[in-house]
Amino acid sequence: MLTKRRFGLWTGILAVGFGTVVGFTALAEDAPVTPDGTPAYIVKDGQVDKGTYNGYRRFHATCHTCHGFDASGSSFAPNLTDSLKRLSYDDFKDVVVNGRQNQGATGDRVMPSFGLDPNIMEHLDDIYRYLKARADGALPGGRPQRLGG
């Protein structure tokens, strides 16, 4: 199994999103994934894995200008702590890579495409980890602490 090979010994069990309970190791340096390879997160005593922490930082370098601090939305971009309850990982990637334009009455809500932006593409999994932890209610707003330091 991928996670086992990558992370060595099982050291704990924790609910990590997707309504499933999966095993993970407590190596805080690594970014956890579910057995099917979907990025996951670890939140333990209010502390997060390195990937989720990186996602927090990357989100607040770019996405928060429209989606608000803590991903809680603004008057012109949706609250992603709601969106990530319903969007799959693939849906999420599709929107961020390709962007989206609302064809509704006003048509003025534009999600830019980040497919050519390496600052986002290289950290897409971590941004997903952070947003999923927020959407699952596992992580409160504000700057999280990093596990192991």
Residue 21: how many CA atoms within 13 Å on its side-chain side? Answer: 3
Residue 126: how many CA atoms within 13 Å on its side-chain side? Answer: 21
What would you measure as the largest C-alpha separation in the chain, in angstroms?
54
C-alpha 24/C-alpha 40 separation (Å) is 10
C-alpha 53/C-alpha 12 separation (Å) is 20
Considering the rule CB under 6 A, would residue 110 count as an interface residue with ligand HEC? yes
Stretch that binds ligand HEC, among 3-11, 36-44, 64-72, 132-140 (CB under 6 A): 64-72
Q: What are phi and psi of 6, to 5 degrees?
A: -75, -35
Considering the rule CB under 6 A, would residue 78 count as an interface residue with ligand HEC? yes
112, 113, 121, 146: residue in contact with ligand HEC (rule CB under 6 A): 112
Residue whose C-alpha is closest to residue 81's, from 147, 20, 36, 17: 17
Least gap, CB of 116 to ligand HEC (angstroms): 12
Kindly tell me which of 19 and 104 has the beta carbon lying closer to ligand HEC.
104
Stretch that binds ligand HEC, among 8-16, 35-43, 46-54, 104-112 (CB under 6 A): 104-112
111, 113, 121, 146: residue in contact with ligand HEC (rule CB under 6 A): 111
Residues within the interface to ligand HEC (CB under 6 A): 62-63, 65-67, 76-78, 80, 83, 87, 92, 95-96, 100, 102, 109-112, 114, 120, 127
